[in-house]
Chain A
Amino acid sequence: MDMGIKMEQKHLFGILYVCLVMSILAGVLVHLFIPSHAAFLWQEIPGFSAIYGFIGCILIIIVSKALGHYWLQKEEDYYEKH
């Protein structure tokens, strides 16, 4: 990878960090100032969506990879052989 792309990547990650922080801050602000009509308990937690997004994504990757590895994934010519 050449320098230009690396710089650009660094730049993009800067933006990402700012966005992450801002979304959390906005979440807290919404939580404080807008009366909530939360249907579920967990919606009262500020930043629940961030936590769910992060943990959910990790879970989805790990669970599906485990399912694939131990059970579902076969070599490409599986249907020709069997």
Chain B
Amino acid sequence: MIEWLHPGLIFILGALLIPVLKGKWKQIYLLLLPIVALIDLLYMSKGVFWRLPLLEYELVFGRVDQLSLVFGYVFVIASFCMTLYALHVKEDGQHVAAFLYVGSTLGVVFAGDLFTLYLFWEVMAFSSLFLIWYRKTKASSEAGFRYIMVHIFGGICLLAGIILHLQNTGSIAFDSFNWGTGWGYLSSYFILVGFLINAAVPPLHAWLSDAYPEATVTGAVFLTAFTTKSAIYVLIRGFPGVELLIWLGAIMAVYGVIYAVLATDARRLLAYSIISQGGYMVAGVGIGTWMAINGSIAHALSCILYMALLFMGAGAVLEMTGRSKFTELGGLYKYMPLTFWLYMIGAFSISGFPLFSGFVSKTMVIGSAAIVHQPIVWLLLEGAAIGTFLVAGLKLPYLTWFARKEKGPVVEVKAKEPPKNMLAAMGVTAFLCIFIGVYPQALYGILPYAVDYAPYAAGHVVAMSQLLLFTFVAFWLLRGMLHGTPTITLDTDWFYRIAGKRFIWFCEKPLLDFADSIDRVLKDLANSFAWFSRNPTAASRIMLLTIGAVVARPFNPAYMRYERDLEELRGMYPGETVHRVAIGTGVLLVLMFFTLYLIIYLTHGVLWV
């Protein structure tokens, strides 16, 4: 058995050479790396490779089984399409960041222990950050900061969970975690939170819809696939059959759709669609039957491809027109018909039209919700399918390529089709989407469990067709309501954008004022003690007289005299130190004290030791 090179390493080490190459050679090299990685993957045998001893533990960089291989295949194939899409980008940094991102994701996928997982998890977060920052706008740099803050928080949760887990079990192997309620499962909770942040499960999802739309045109395409889908992978490994996930997933699917309806930016709409699609996968992991897990994996794989295609389409529009807001778009069909049709293949796939990729995977998850008899989950997931078609298949293309603005200044967009490499990338991805839809055995054949599911049963096809066709009817009737207005929609990022700001304001203003006032009171107290001790007798006289003046005022018509005395005394203060005592008196007092002490000592013994 040959231990092949780790496919992640091909990307990570390969990325280092990118800045050295120039022009055509660089482009060839960029495309060659994913192909080499794919060949490497195809010839890889199953087993556990690349073990590395670290202290008393053993790091496992290569746990190769069917589950990790499947994700590996699709990540590498998708990275080829995305690299092709980004081929015209001149900045080496973007390519390097993207390749590190892909490589570290493959590292996560093949990680056999929790330390390795954590290592690549962090590299993934930081390398992807640069795909956002390279947009070089104020919005992108701020969104990038929020993005990395959330991911650092997620990473800390993961690390805390790993350490607790290590303490409880003494093992760093990455297998399914214990699940239950109680403090004993704290490590699992921490790890789950870390995973759920990356899977963008509400309410921990806002980093995605906040940052992805601000990423570069090509960077966003990379971002769609790796973070969220590798999170699904680790959920399948770690938490299969955890019932909580069913509900989180079902809510997530509908949540994403509702926000996508409100979205006013094309790429933000798609970002919410990623969240919504993730809901199916999370729910599938929660259901946990073989068919559901298979469905989750299949849906993750087809989602990687069609989501990339959709972002490529919206990105092409942004690249050519500089616009992604619905209020500024419309009527582009004249200029970009090819982009439109390629986008629509992605839209039909995400909506789950028969003969497109979403159909053969989404229905598996919905079907397994029916088998375990979860009517509410079924209705939510089916409802999210309606909404998905509504937003990604109807709203976005309608407002981008067709609807013209009657009101307001006419913004005439002079656009043309995007560069050839972008079109080619979209073509390849679109082909794959249709290929999986027409020939689902290609997808089912590589799933880890045997597939006993016929997507093209007459009942399924008819039900899905009815669902989508009548969704279109409803959309056409209400299409006027979907025109964007220049607004933003508040999401859970409000809590760290506004509540966070207010918290800092609270610390800086009221809290500091309070601290200041305590400070002042203490200082005054100290000052008054100092004043008092300068001349205690005079000070106590002044105090007594002050009280007397206040008390006597209502009764004594001659209180004015008191006041005058007081003024005088205050003026003299501290004045002469009081009552000097002759030194003999002092000595006498001391002697008396010693005598007293001697008597006590003789009668009672030592008073203190």
Contacts and interface: CB of A to CB of B under 8 A. Distances in A.
Given A49-B467, A60-B261, A73 B375 contact: no
Contacts of A65: 261-262, 481
Contact of B262 (A24, A56, A68, A79): A68
A39 B470 contact: no
- Max chain B C-beta neighbours (<10 A), residue from A48, A53, A62: A53
Contact of B258 (A50, A57, A63, A79): A63
A54 B470 contact: yes
Given A39-B371, A76-B487, A34 B463 contact: no
B470 A50 contact: yes
Interface in A31-64: 34, 36, 39-40, 47-58, 60-64
Given A65-B261, A82-B498, A53 B474 contact: yes
Contacts of B259: 64
B288 to A, nearest CB: 17
Nearest to B468: A53
Contact of B471 (A26, A40, A57): A57
Contacts of B487: 68, 73-76
B467 A64 contact: no
Contacts of A68: 261-262, 487, 489
B577 interface: no
B478 A58 contact: yes
B160 to A, nearest CB: 30
Most buried by B among A16, A30, A48: A30
Nearest to A56: B386
B489 A61 contact: no
B481 A61 contact: yes
B458 interface: yes
Nearest to B463: A49
B474 A54 contact: yes
A62 B486 CA distance: 19
A51 B475 CA distance: 14
A71 B490 CA distance: 8
Contact of A57 (B262, B390, B459, B488): B390
A24 to B, nearest CB: 7
Nearest to B472: A16
Interface in B444-491: 458-459, 462-475, 477-478, 481-482, 485-491
Nearest to A33: B458
A41 to B, nearest CB: 9
A82 B459 CA distance: 53
Nearest to B257: A60
A23 to B, nearest CB: 5
B488 A60 contact: no
Report whether over half of chain B's contact residues are helix, strand or loop; otherwise say mixed.
Answer: helix
A66 to B, nearest CB: 10
B387 interface: yes
Contacts of A40: 370, 373, 375, 378
B109 to A, nearest CB: 34
B328 interface: no
B466 A53 contact: yes
Secondary structure of the A side of the interface? helix
B375 to A, nearest CB: 5
A47 to B, nearest CB: 7
A39 B591 CA distance: 104
A58 B472 CA distance: 10
Contacts of B371: 39
B155 to A, nearest CB: 25
Contact of B261 (A26, A56, A61, A78): A61
B497 interface: yes
Nearest to A51: B470
B136 interface: no
Contacts of B475: 57, 61
A81 B475 CA distance: 35
Contact of B458 (A34, A52, A73, A79): A34
B574 interface: no
A56 B341 CA distance: 27
B501 A74 contact: no
A53 B498 contact: no
B383 interface: yes
Interface in B147-205: none
A64 B117 CA distance: 38
A19 B475 CA distance: 16
B382 interface: yes
Sorted nearest first, the 9 A-B pairs with minimum C-beta distance are A57-B474, A53-B470, A39-B370, A50-B466, A49-B466, A53-B467, A64-B261, A54-B470, A49-B463
Given A61-B261, A62-B478, A64-B257, 6 more contacts: A27-B466, A50-B469, A55-B474, A57-B386, A57-B471, A68-B261
16 contacts: A16-B472, A26-B465, A34-B458, A48-B463, A50-B466, A60-B387, A64-B262, A65-B261, A68-B262, A72-B489, A73-B489, A74-B490, A76-B486, A78-B490, A79-B488, A82-B501
